[in-house]
């Protein structure tokens, strides 16, 4: 959990987000992560916290980079206050 919080702070810094964002670990069957825009909470699937699962099942070689990518995706929803992938979503993410 410590690494997850560190990666969240790194992703927030890269996206210039200063708000307090909470993170929760959940058991999802189909989702990798989700975000509550109003409550400013990111819920992340417990399975992707397992490095071996990410590398083997998802085919991702760089575990930390993958987690940051997931966190940034959810942070953008909170930052823009939308569940949609509007043009600004992609502009800010790149």
Domain locations in the chain? 2-89
**For residue 90, what pLDDT is reported?**
64
> Which of 42, 46, 53, 49 has its CA nearest to residue 17?
42
- Give the model confidence (pLDDT) of 42-89 as tens digits: 999 999 999 888 888 788 889 999 999 999 999 999 998 888 676 776
* Strand 41-45 versus strand 33-36 pairing type: antiparallel
Does the pLDDT at position 92 exceed 90? no
Yes or no: is domain 2-89 CATH 2.60.40.10? no
The total number of residues written for the chain in this structure: 94
């Amino acid at each position: 959990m410590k690494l997850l919080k560190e990666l969240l702070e790194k992703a927030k810094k890269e996206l210039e987000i200063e708000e307090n964002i909470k993170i929760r670990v959940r058991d999802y069957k189909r989702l990798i992560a989700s975000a509550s825009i109003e409550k400013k909470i990111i819920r992340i699937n417990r399975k992707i916290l397992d490095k071996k699962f990410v590398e083997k099942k998802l085919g991702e070689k760089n575990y930390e980079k993958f987690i940051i990518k997931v966190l940034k995706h959810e942070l953008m929803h909170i930052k823009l206050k939308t569940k949609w992938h509007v043009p600004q979503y992609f502009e800010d993410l790149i």
